[in-house]
Amino acid sequence: MLKSFVLQMARRGFLASSMRETRRQKCSECFKEVYQWKNKDNRPTEHCEINVAEEAKRANLSLETIYHLENLSLVDFSSGAAIARLASAIRYADRLKDIDVSGVEPLFSLLENETLPLREDEITEGQQKEDVIRNAKVTFEDFYVAPPGNIALEQDKKYDSFLNNESPLNAGQQKELSSVELKKVRRQA
């Protein structure tokens, strides 16, 4: 019985040769390949949070900036992986700094040397109110309807643990929806 117990433990990777019992899988958050114990819920746990903090530091991305960007864009990152992706985009853009641009004017339009045509201020078409307004989900008597304005967006501080590198979130305590699950939900829709 002891022998079978030992064999069982060996198979489960509790001995020195237990490296065979790890699995090479991809972190669902940051897409890096990691060696993970074959635990039953198969989620890489502490790996990602630590990575996000590093990436953000390398790209000089502070927590304050993250929340500020969400406020400006009115979209959310929704996962640590998204923060890491922004950090990697910033570091990719940093390559431009190798180039000397002194004395160079920025180019905003390829047509900067052309004279663009203007037209007379004459009404040539229109009368399409129905076609236009039917695209709005909520209307009232030909008015568009919006909720009250001038109220700041309430932001829940969900990235503090990522970037302050506190005790990492474990698998059980995940935030609302990881990017992978969100994709699945949307595909099914």
Partner 1 sequence: MATTVRTAFVRNAPNTRLPLTSIAQFLSHINQERLSALNLIEAYHQHVQHAQAESNAYTSDLTVNIDAPQVQAMLDGLSQPRLMAVPFAVKDNFCVQENITSCASLMLQDFVPAYTATVVQRLLNAGALLVGKTNMDEFAMGSGSIDSWRGAVTNPWDTTRIAGGSSGGSAAAVASRSAIFALGSDTGGSVRNPASYCGLVGYKPSYGHVSRHGLIPLVNSTDVPAIFTHVVEDARTVYDVIAGPDAKDSTCLTTPPPPQRDSKLNKVKVGIPQELNVPEYQPYLGFWRSVAERLEEHGAEVVPVSLPHSEYANACYTVLCACDVASNMARYDGVEFGHRSTASDVSTNAMYAATRHEGFNEVVRGRILAGNFFLLKRSQQEYFLYAAKVRRLIVQDFTKVFDKEVDVLCMPVTFGVAPTLEEFKKLDNRTQQELQDLFTVAASLAGLPAISVPIAMEGHLPVGIQLVAPNRQDNFLLDVAQHVESLYKFHEKFSLGL
Tell me how far apart the alpha carbons of residues 82 and 174 are, in angstroms, rounded to a whole number.
15
Q: Which of 3, 24, 40, 95 binds partner 1 (CB under 8 A)?
A: 95
Q: How far is the CB of 13 from partner 1 (least distance, A)?
A: 26
Residue indicated by tokens 């590093």 = 54
First CA to last CA distance, the chain: 52
Interface with partner 1 includes 118 (CB under 8 A)? yes
Q: How far is the CB of 41 from partner 1 (least distance, A)?
A: 22
Interface with partner 1 includes 25 (CB under 8 A)? no
Q: Which residue, 51 or 179, has its beta carbon nearer to partner 1? A: 179
Q: How far is the CB of 177 from partner 1 (least distance, A)?
A: 10
Per CB under 8 A, the segment of 35-43, 44-52, 93-101, 166-174 that binds partner 1 is: 93-101
Contact residues toward partner 1 (CB under 8 A) are 26, 31, 65, 68-70, 72-78, 81-82, 85-86, 88-90, 92-93, 95-99, 101, 104-111, 114, 116-119, 128, 131-132, 134-138, 144-154, 179, 182-183, 186-187, 189
